[in-house]
Amino acid sequence: MLPGQKGIKEVAVWLASACSSRGIAVLTGAGVSSESGIPTFRDKLTGLWEGYDPAKLASPQGFVANPNLVWQWYDWRRGIVEAASPNPGHLALARLEQLSQHFTLITQNVDRLHHRAGSKNIIELHGNILNYSCFSKRHPANFVAPGLTEPPLCHCGSPLRPDVVWFGESLPASAMPLATDAVLSSSVLMVVGTSGLVQPAASLPYIALESGIKVVEINPVRTPISDQVDVFIEGPSGGVLPYVVSLVEEL
Ligand code: BV8
């Protein structure tokens, strides 16, 4: 990403104007947390998990078929998440929210790093890996010790599972309606660090484009929407976002 890269200054003008008018919506994916040391879904699973398909592990079928393996996979991820810190990209989004009268952060991530960075108005489309509930009745569970090799049981006898949305499970009922409203009431949607392959989250940029809302994508790699967005900024969010927000603050 070069400071003079085409469109960045234009993006800053759009964002500065949006801060004092209709506001900004942001959709983030795993790429935003990769500079915090959290592997993305498209990073080949390394080490212990090589050869496993995340979409299979992150599913009710996967859990029923092999609860201990799925439990250990989430416990391993939970350890990485708890050891991680928000990176400059998370912090820049929290700063941009402070500058904007209306701001909604819609995240596909389950690592709570946006919360820890200070973002306030967050919609977690896919839940939160640090919370647990039981498989059968979703009874919430309190503290769960790290390092267990199999899921502990709920008081109702059902095994615990992480409070995330698995493939094949519906999102929380309010998530997409709130996210869609947030996008449609904004004048700029930023799409940051997502391959745009998982539905229904991946529909949000198209909803924005069809409604004439400016869409800005930040990613080191082009994605299925890159040719359709108003500006594609090629680069890591940890470098691009602080630079863009610094330009907004200068305007
Ligand atoms: C649903 C929580 C209705 C869990 C996640 C068959 C049966 C059932 C459903 C389906 C089906 N076929 C299709 C579906 C729909 C399915 C789906 O979309 N499947 C895909 C694979 C085709 N969706 C669902 O199942 C959803 N529910 O539809 O309910 C329903 C109900 C029943 C039956 C039918 C329909 C639920 C989807 C939610 C799944 N849960 N997470 C967990 O975390 O374990 S999804 C999970 O994967 C993440 O949350 C995230 O959303 C997704 C990964 O996407 P990304 O975030 O984009 O990450 P990715 O690794 O792909 O890309 C990273 C990007 O970052 C890359 O572009 C890279 O270039 C970039 N990057 C890298 N470094 C940086 C960077 N960018 C910036 N800076 C950097 N430094």
The model's pTM = 0.96
Which pLDDT belongs to residue 86?
A: 98
Class for domain 47-83+135-164, per CATH? alpha beta
199 CB burial (10 A radius; 0-12, 13-18, 19+): exposed
Q: Which CATH superfamily is domain 2-38+86-126+170-250 in?
A: TPP-binding domain (3.40.50.1220)
d(CA 246, CA 251): 9
Ligand 1 surroundings by CB, under 6 angstroms: 29-31, 34-35, 40-42, 55, 58, 108, 110, 126, 164-170, 193-195, 197-201, 219-221, 223, 236-238
Residue 51 confidence (pLDDT)? 82
- So which residues are the catalytic ones? 126
Identify the H or E element spanning 69. Answer: helix 67-83
Radius of gyration of the chain (CA): 19
Q: How far is CA 125 from CA 10, 111, 168, 251, in A?
A: 29, 12, 14, 32
pLDDT digits (tens, 9 = 90+) for 58-69: 999 999 999 999
Domain ranges for the chain: 2-38+86-126+170-250, 47-83+135-164
Nearest to 34 by CA among 100, 80, 99: 80
- Residue showing tokens 């500079």: 35
pLDDT at 209 over 60: yes
